[in-house]
Amino acid sequence: MKKLIIGTRGSDLALWQANYIKDKLAAIGAEAELKIIKTQGDKILNLRLDKLEGKGFFTKELEEELLDGRIDLAVHSHKDLPTAHPAGLIIAAVPEREDPAELLLILKDCVDVTQKLSLKTGAMVGTSSNRRKAQLLALRPELNIEDLRGNVPTRIQKLRDENYDAILLAKAGVNRLGIDLSEFHVEVLDTSELVPSPAQGALGIQIREKDQELFDLLQQIHHEETASEIAVERKVLNLFQGGCHMPLGCYCKKENGQYEVWTSKAETDEHFPDRLFYRVPTLDGLAEKIVEKFTAKRKLPSKVFISREIGENNYFRRALAKHQIEIDGRSLIRTFPIVLRLDPFYLKNLDWIFFSSRNGVEYFFKLNPVLSKRVKFGVVGRGSEDELRKHGHVADYVGEGGDIDEVARLFAVVAENQTVLFPRAQDSLLSMQKFLKPSTKVVDLPIYETVIEEDIDRTSAEVLIFTSPSNVEAYFANNLLDPEQQVIAIGHSTGKKFDEMGVKYILPYSPDEIGLAEAVFGIDVK
């Protein structure tokens, strides 16, 4: 085969991507060279990024060179591609995807670890993405969001020059360029917390449709799983383009043989986004199902019961208030401390302190522990992480997905050969401890007890959310479930209670406010 010509934009990131494909081709015996092409998106510096992404501003000139035969293939950031390709061109291969998460880079004097995302109150955050803005304001409504343009190094320099307190960037671009971020405080916003743009982190290799020999060659660097996942995301994007220019995030990944898909959509960058999560065995018809949930006229619950109090500015409350859904929030249990003074023995030679609940965090820090600076913190999920922040600490390990057994297995690897303190409820199931390796030393510390309330009033809510096995026991001691009522269980241990009762339930991906909002939005009332 003749020497191939790869068309690319001239930014640092575009050149990295093109050279990455050049190296991939060299590894399979194909020689290539780069041709730099300036696109309209590189010339237009006064438009917000969301006006450019996915509309061909970064791809049109490369596509014209392809069609005219002046280059053989073009390398694109897949999220920049329009959902409809020009006649005569195809995406021939999609390499394996880079991490699609977001990075929040914060000037160190603007950090406040007691706040969610470690941003000080009212911080100015730079981003030109409507998608990022809507989701960020949902998490922290008091933040000030300002436009930010330029390539990755330019945006970072603007933060360095203190034009902003923080900026949001795609982790993929930073990883690919190998940029040193040590001068900033860096927060990784997981894909389940801030949903990425469709196809974020993926590359697309575009060729002429009739170039069969090149197509066959490129299959050697094609990653079918990535291609299948981003196909769903881009189909959701395509189906939403019927007149609505809304901030949209969609992310699909395959996990343990199942596909997990998150979607976030808001009317504008100023509006609170709706969230939806699916876990399904096959992708057939999934994009259509997702879009129908957002666009079809359907009946949402008018009232939701949850077995804990919900604060006025809580994410979950604001997500439901958007749809005029009333919340009946009340805890069905009471907790009491059983340790009033902490013996220093428990804090000696610790490597980790692991919290399995918000209550564990709260009662532990009421004991005013004096901790070594080398101690690291692990938490079962984002709810416990938020509580830990209130006490001035950032978690070094955060469980994901709500499956306590899976969280425990992963933490067991992290904590191998180390000493871990577990402040816990007296009646804890010790789920975490069961999975630790024999070489890990466990320091057990029961610090509070749980007492079930009596004579709990039943609720008329269409959806009932239970936050713990104790709350399930308390409610169903005297109440029955109506046939029309639907149940959401936070965490697998709560779900097991319903398994014992023979009651069907929904298990959110994450046992926190975002996961609950996703679960409620996915319910259609009968």
Q: Output DSSP code: residue 79.
A: G
Catalytic residue at 328?
no
AA letter at 50: D
Phi-psi region of 334 (alpha: psi -120 to 50; beta: other; left: phi over 0): beta
| Sign, Cα dihedral of 7, 9, 10, 13 | negative
pLDDT value at position 52?
A: 47
Catalytic residue among 12, 50, 68, 80: 80
Check whether 51 has a pLDDT greater than 80. Answer: no
For range 55-76, the mean pLDDT = 86
3-state SS class at 115: coil
| Mean pLDDT confidence for 239-259 | 83
Q: What is the mean pLDDT of residues 50-61?
A: 61
What is the pLDDT confidence band of residue 428, given thresholds at 50, 70 and 90?
confident
Whole-model pTM: value is 0.91
pLDDT digits (tens, 9 = 90+) for 439-488: 999 999 999 999 999 889 999 999 999 999 999 999 999 999 999 999 99
The answer to whether the beta carbons of residues 393 and 113 sit under 8 Å apart is yes
Which of 385, 342, 327 shows the shortest CA–CA distance to 361? 385
**What average pLDDT does range 377-382 have in this prediction?**
93
Looking at the DSSP bridge assignments, the partners of residue 106 are: 166, 185
Which amino acid would we find at residue 193? E
> Dmax of the chain from CA atoms?
81
Write the DSSP symbol of residue 80.
G
Look at the alpha carbons of 96, 97, 99, 104 in this order and tell me if their dihedral is positive or negative: positive
* pLDDT band with cut points at 50, 70 and 90 for residue 245: low
pLDDT, tens digit, for every residue of 485-495?
999 999 888 99
- Taking residues 246-272, report their average pLDDT: 94
Closest CA to 338 of 266, 213, 421, 423: 423
Q: By percentage, how much of the chain surpasses pLDDT 90?
A: 83
Tell me, what's the pLDDT at 511?
Answer: 86
- At residue 415, the pLDDT reads 94
> Over the stretch 134-144, which tens digit does the pLDDT of each residue have?
999 999 999 99
- HEC string for 35-67: EECCCHHHHCCCCCHHHCCCCCCCCHHHHHHHH
Tell me what the mean pLDDT of segment 387-395 comes to.
Answer: 95
Average pLDDT across the chain, whole number = 92
Are 162 and 479 in contact by the 8 Å Cβ rule? The answer is no
Residues 19-40 have pLDDT tens digits of: 999 999 999 999 999 999 987 6
The predicted pLDDT at position 244 comes to 42
The residues pairing with 90 across neighbouring beta strands, listed in sequence order, are 207
pLDDT of the residue at 149: 87
Sheet holding 326-329, edge to edge: 326-329, 303-306, 463-466, 486-489
Tokens linked to 116: 């969610």
Residue 154 has pLDDT above 60, yes or no: yes
How many Å apart are CA 471 and CA 450, to the nearest integer? Answer: 10
Query: Which pLDDT value is given to residue 44?
Result: 52
Rounded to an integer, the average pLDDT of 174-199 is: 95
Give the mean model confidence (pLDDT) for residues 503-522: 94
Alpha-carbon distance of 247 to 272, in angstroms, equals 10
Q: H or E stretch including 104?
A: strand 102-107
Instruction: Give the model's pLDDT for residue 242.
Output: 46
Cα separations (Å) of 463 from 239, 308, 326, 489? 30, 14, 11, 11
Question: How many CB atoms lie under 10 A from the CB of residue 35?
Answer: 15
Residue 156 has pLDDT above 70, yes or no: yes
Number of helices (H) and strands (E), helices first, in the chain?
17, 23
Query: How far is 124 from 381, CA to CA, in rounded Å?
Result: 27
Q: Are 221 and 94 in contact (CB under 8 A)?
A: no
Distance CA 246, CA 237 (A): 10
Whether pLDDT at 49 is above 80 = no
- CA atoms of 225 and 203, how far apart (whole Å): 13
How confident is the model at residue 194, as a pLDDT? 97
pLDDT for 432 equals 86
Q: What pLDDT shows up at residue 59?
A: 82
* Residue range 277-295, pLDDT digits in tens: 999 999 999 999 999 999 9
Residue 33: its pLDDT value, please?
96
DSSP string over 228-295 = HHHHHHHHHHHHHTTT----EEEEEEEETTEEEEEEEE-SSTTSPPEEEEEEES--TTHHHHHHHHHH
pLDDT tens-digit series, residues 102-117: 999 999 999 999 999 9
Residue 100 has pLDDT above 60, yes or no: yes
pLDDT band with cut points at 50, 70 and 90 for residue 42: low
Nearest to 153 by CA among 12, 9, 15: 12
Predicted local confidence at residue 397, as pLDDT: 96
Closest to 198 measured CA to CA, from 248, 260, 247, 130: 248
